[in-house]
């Protein structure tokens, strides 16, 4: 079966873009050209009558750059202060760009306890669905200004997969600084091979995922495997694409062999909430 031929028919898509794909590595400043291109592509998908949700990292990175700090903060309180400064700037930029292409966006900030609490989780689901019904593009991030190590998602790979499951998305696209899932880290192993399609996540795949983190991002390939477990177990395909050249998104939806596509295998009687709350996707 050619799974890629069916990608153009996806109707509800969650995109996740990492800090390393939004920020100039040399300076820590926002890459406005790349951000504008991302918004243009998402707006075009929206014009094709698709539901689009964007999970965007970058608030802490933007904040520490704005505050003139020389390196990424290490304490929770300083991270939260940077997020408070950076989140507003990030959203303002997204809203301005989306409006230029005729679309509205809205900020949705989540914490892990909002998912584990029944009432808060339902409120989050209702809000996201209502925004989509209103043709508004939700821009989601973890609420870093109040999250602590005990209740945080850990990274936006996980958050994007959870959002995908909450809204019943049929596709999750993770944009990162590598062009797919490899048998080893291609930056250190020239013999590493990109896997085009993955139908099953097993222990051997998890071992391949061990690798280095990026300078501005918080997650490596292991977190993307965890996200793939959440997404595919709850009914969505997931793709890993290189956020360095966003034209790859167009290639992907045209069915070209780019990135890595994980195929969903939604399970009957699957307890999504238990899977997420108890972080079984990390096992």
* pLDDT, tens only, 202-242: 877 877 766 534 443 445 777 888 899 889 988 999 999 99
Report whether CATH 3.40.50.150 matches the domain 3-282.
Answer: no
Q: What is the Cα–Cα distance from 129 to 167, expressed in whole angstroms?
A: 7
Q: What is the Cα–Cα distance from 183 to 155, expressed in whole angstroms?
A: 22
Which of 36-45, 107-116, 250-259 has the lowest average pLDDT?
107-116
Task: Please determine, for residue 280, whether its predicted confidence score (pLDDT) is greater than 50.
Answer: yes
Q: What is the Cα–Cα distance from 140 to 128, expressed in whole angstroms?
A: 10
Task: Please determine, for residue 171, whether its predicted confidence score (pLDDT) is greater than 50.
Answer: yes
Percent of all residues in the chain with a pLDDT value above 90, rounded to a whole number:
46
Name the helix (H) or strand (E) containing 80.
helix 76-100
Task: Please determine, for residue 36, whether its predicted confidence score (pLDDT) is greater than 70.
Answer: yes
CB 24 within 8 A of CB 269: no
Token pair for residue 45? 């998908």
Q: What is the pLDDT of residue 205?
A: 80
- Nearest partner of 92 among 81, 101, 105, judged by Cα: 105
Count Cα atoms within 13 angstroms, Cβ side, for 241. Answer: 24
Stretch 11-15: mean pLDDT: 97
Q: Using 50, 70 and 90 to split pLDDT, how confident is the model at 144?
A: low
Q: What is the pLDDT of residue 135?
A: 96
Higher pLDDT, 170 or 30: 170
DSSP bridge partners of 162: none
Percent of all residues in the chain with a pLDDT value above 70, rounded to a whole number:
86
What 3-state class would DSSP assign to 135?
coil
Token pair for residue 246? 């966003």
Higher pLDDT, 283 or 72: 72
Name the helix (H) or strand (E) containing 162.
helix 156-167
Q: What is the Cα–Cα distance from 35 to 156, expressed in whole angstroms?
A: 17
Token pair for residue 56? 């965007």
Q: What is the pLDDT of residue 143?
A: 79
Q: How far is CA 217 from the centre of its chain?
A: 12
Q: What is the pLDDT of residue 129?
A: 97
Instruction: Please state whether beta strands 171-176 and 136-142 pair in parallel, antiparallel, or not at all (unpaired).
Output: unpaired
CB 60 within 8 A of CB 79: yes
Task: Please determine, for residue 130, whether its predicted confidence score (pLDDT) is greater than 70.
Answer: yes
- Nearest partner of 60 among 44, 45, 75, 39, judged by Cα: 75
Name the pTM for this structure: 0.90
Q: What is the pLDDT of residue 16?
A: 96
CB 82 within 8 A of CB 58: no
Higher pLDDT, 35 or 177: 35
Stretch 83-109: mean pLDDT: 94
Q: What is the pLDDT of residue 77?
A: 84
Q: What is the pLDDT of residue 117?
A: 82
- Domain range list for the chain: 3-282
Q: Per residue, what are the HEC states of 12-65? A: EEEEEECHHHHECCCCCCECHHHHHHHHHHHHHHHHCCCEEEEEECCHHHHHHH
């Amino acid at each position: 079966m050619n799974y890629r031929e069916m990608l153009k028919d996806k109707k509800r898509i969650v995109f996740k873009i990492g800090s390393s794909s939004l920020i100039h590595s040399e300076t820590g400043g926002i890459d406005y050209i790349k951000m504008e291109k991302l918004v243009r592509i998402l707006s075009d998908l929206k014009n094709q009558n698709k539901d689009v949700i964007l999970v965007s990292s970058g608030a802490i990175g933007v904040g520490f750059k704005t505050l003139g700090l020389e390196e990424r903060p290490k304490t929770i309180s300083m991270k939260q202060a940077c997020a408070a400064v950076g989140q507003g700037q990030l959203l303002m930029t997204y809203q301005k760009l989306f409006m230029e292409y005729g679309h509205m966006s809205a900020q949705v900030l989540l914490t892990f306890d909002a998912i584990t609490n029944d009432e808060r989780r339902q409120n989050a689901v209702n809000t996201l669905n209502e925004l989509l019904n209103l043709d508004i593009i939700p821009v989601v991030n973890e609420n870093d200004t109040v999250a602590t190590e005990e209740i945080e998602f850990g990274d936006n790979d996980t958050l994007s997969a959870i959002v995908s499951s909450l809204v019943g998305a049929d596709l999750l696209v993770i944009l990162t600084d590598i062009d797919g899932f490899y048998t080893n880290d291609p930056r250190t192993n020239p013999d590493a091979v990109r896997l085009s399609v993955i139908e099953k996540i097993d222990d051997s795949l998890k071992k391949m995922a061990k690798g280095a983190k990026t300078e501005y991002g918080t997650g490596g390939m292991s977190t993307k495997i965890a996200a793939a477990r959440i997404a595919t177990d709850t009914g969505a395909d997931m793709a890993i694409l290189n956020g360095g050249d966003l034209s790859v998104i167009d290639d992907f939806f045209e069915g070209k062999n780019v990135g890595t596509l994980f195929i969903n295998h939604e399970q009957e009687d699957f307890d999504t909430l238990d899977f997420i709350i108890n972080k079984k996707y990390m096992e």
